[in-house]
A and B are shown apart, each in its own frame.
Chain A
């Protein structure tokens, strides 16, 4: 392994008072999409503030970013100095490549309290070692079509529980003929979101947790939505966008970044959407979850880790830059102090004057942290077929989940919860 010898991660070292003042030279940063755009913009500011440094941001594309990163980690060289990795993906890398990244604890550990708890969980390994800093998160809420709700006489503010949601869905369907939400039959649909809302992922304490009472509740809810004819099935991301644009479904339970998609792809629907917190499993339960979000880390093979850290610190641990990335690139900050900025309480014209970012900012602080690990990919495959069995072939949720838990335990060699 280039640089990172043995099985322990290389310590970034340095004193806590060290603000990267000595850093110089050149680093390369890999990212994609709007994140790359944001970093290209702010890299110029960073270079001005730290004369003698060069920050080269490369857009490597999202679709195959992990192929490129994984080969570099296995090969022990060829990676950039700063990598963008999604939060849900970071634990896989920490698990599979324990010496692949710099341990940032001595410099980054002190920021723990400033970041969203759920996001922080994704960047820390065993014993709380910090391997990355969280960048953005995807707090979830319920987007709804104001016109459909008005036509059916349903008040979105009264959707306190998922039962209320189902009842409203039935009424809206009677009044407008629209279904309630769009799901993709080729993935696990809203199951991961519903699980995180109840504070768990597919694993709990390293054990398989796909047949817990919470999981049964989540999948039963999905089956009820299906059985009442409230689900419109569309394939993939494009299906979701087209279906929403066409008004096939009247709500979308999803993350804050969906506001960007609505603005970009459906300008003609301006004024027709509103946002309320997710319905809860109980009236006073948690009203949000998380989808997406990313982190920045320094691979152990970097030859300029100090400058890499200085750039990450500059980008993520200050209110000004975080808010500017929310404003310009729509990246919702995991850095909590940024959520108090007046920009978040500004009324949004697209949403008929509602201050939607404020809704997400309030919810962001309550996202339950969950466990991700290196077996997530295996779990996802098994869960997709379990969900399909229930939704499309009418299997019993409890039985399907129990069988999925057995399969997953065998596939991963992990024990089962309970």
Chain B
């Protein structure tokens, strides 16, 4: 690799032009996807009334702290952020574990009705959420869970997408490895945690990111379940900033900006895992 890069490479001019065109295209794509973030950051530092000016302000203003104080004052942003983090973390840990276990079971254990079970898991993916909304709501109401955190987390712990994703990861897992673990006297749980799970890190990393993002951004279900302002998650709380004749855009922008930070942190954290897992697989080949 290094030798190749150091040697002067003659590239055909047409090819080089093509390469520049690709870069230009990618740069344009990057600008298009970054500008909304930039605008969000700029808008978070102005008053709402300034945002309605035209042309809109293009440089950061000096209202960031005011907006932050108002956000804390009107929706208790600190508390709300904590709620969101708590719900998303608990949900992600439990749901990923359940998905991994189910996926492992469906891929590696032979039992009567396995195909049927897999079909059933697949089938639940086809049911639109809107259909489940009212029955699920009634279930939560009948056990008295409305306005509780567990009502937000529990119904979605067994996630068919996650189960299928993990199952695909386990299908190619060598049976020999499992057998040798068993011969060495490892119990099923220990085999799962110490032999199997470390090998599917890439899938697990992807699943964690997916699950966390889905729960973090989830809106309609927490909105239906949570009835106290101090239990709201970030999306539900930010939604209350939109009124009938007044929309607190600067608060919304600041809140949305702050809400993306944990997601970015998570992504950076698991991206390394992701890459490490991929490389590990490549070397073992």
Residues of A within 8 A of B (CB): 28, 30, 32-34, 36, 56, 58-64, 67-68, 71-72, 74-78, 80, 237-238, 241-242, 245-246, 257-258, 260-261, 264-267, 292
Contacts and interface: CB of A to CB of B under 8 A. Distances in A.
Interface string B237-263: 001111111110000000000000000
B146 A61 contact: no
A77 B53 CA distance: 45
A237 B133 CA distance: 30
A64 B245 contact: no
A261 B134 contact: no
B229 A265 contact: no
B137 A61 contact: no
B223 interface: yes
A71 B224 contact: yes
B33 interface: no
Contact of B138 (A34, A75, A237, A292): A75
A274 B223 CA distance: 41
B239 A64 contact: yes
20 contacts: A59-B229, A59-B240, A61-B223, A62-B242, A63-B239, A68-B224, A74-B134, A75-B137, A75-B141, A76-B138, A77-B141, A78-B137, A78-B141, A80-B227, A241-B52, A245-B54, A257-B244, A261-B245, A264-B246, A266-B52
A245 B240 CA distance: 24
Nearest to B228: A58
B49 interface: yes
Contacts of B236: 61
B72 to A, nearest CB: 15
Given A63-B239, A76-B138, A80-B227, A242 B54 contact: yes
Contact of A71 (B137, B219, B243): B137
A211 to B, nearest CB: 31
B146 A238 contact: no
B141 A33 contact: no
Contacts of B246: 33-34, 260-261, 264
Interface in B206-232: 219-220, 223-224, 227-229
Contacts of A32: 240, 243-244
A237 B134 contact: no
Contacts of B146: 77-78
B48 interface: yes
B220 A246 contact: no
Given A32-B240, A59-B240, A266 B224 contact: no
Given A32-B243, A33-B243, A33-B246, 7 more contacts: A32-B244, A58-B227, A61-B242, A62-B244, A78-B141, A238-B247, A292-B244
B46 to A, nearest CB: 12
Contact of B53 (A76, A245, A261): A245
B52 A245 contact: yes
Nearest to A60: B240
Contacts of B227: 28, 30, 58, 60, 78, 80
A257 B244 CA distance: 10
A28 B229 CA distance: 12
Contacts, number: 97
A395 to B, nearest CB: 32
Interface in B133-155: 133-134, 137-138, 140-142, 146
Contacts of A292: 244-245
A241 B49 CA distance: 9
Given A58-B228, A77-B141, A260-B246, A267 B239 contact: no
Contacts of A63: 239, 242
A333 to B, nearest CB: 16
A68 B239 CA distance: 13
A136 B40 CA distance: 34
Contacts of A77: 138, 141-142, 146
Contacts of A62: 242-244
B223 A68 contact: yes
B134 A75 contact: yes
A258 B245 CA distance: 7
B187 to A, nearest CB: 44
Contacts of A61: 223, 236, 239-242
Contact of A34 (B239, B241, B243): B243
Nearest to A239: B52
Nearest to B146: A78
A265 B49 contact: yes
B220 A64 contact: yes
A238 B245 contact: no
Minimum-distance CB pairs A-B, first 6: A33-B243, A61-B240, A61-B239, A77-B141, A75-B137, A59-B240
Interface in B255-284: none
A64 B223 contact: yes
Contacts of B241: 61
A267 B52 contact: no
A311 B16 CA distance: 75
B255 to A, nearest CB: 13
Contact of B245 (A74, A75, A257): A257
Interface string B51-62: 011100000000
Contacts of A28: 227
B229 A58 contact: yes
A192 to B, nearest CB: 16
Contacts of B242: 61-63
A117 to B, nearest CB: 23
A176 B98 CA distance: 68
A37 to B, nearest CB: 9
Nearest to B50: A265
Contacts of A266: 49, 52
A251 to B, nearest CB: 18
Contacts of A56: 228
Contact of A237 (B141, B142, B247): B247
Contacts of A33: 240, 243-246
Looking at B53, B137, B240, B247, which has the most chain A CB atoms within 10 Å of its CB?
B240
B54 A246 contact: yes
Contact of A67 (B49, B54, B220, B244): B220
Interface string B173-203: 0000000000000000000000000000000
A75 B53 CA distance: 44
Contacts of B219: 64
A266 B53 CA distance: 9
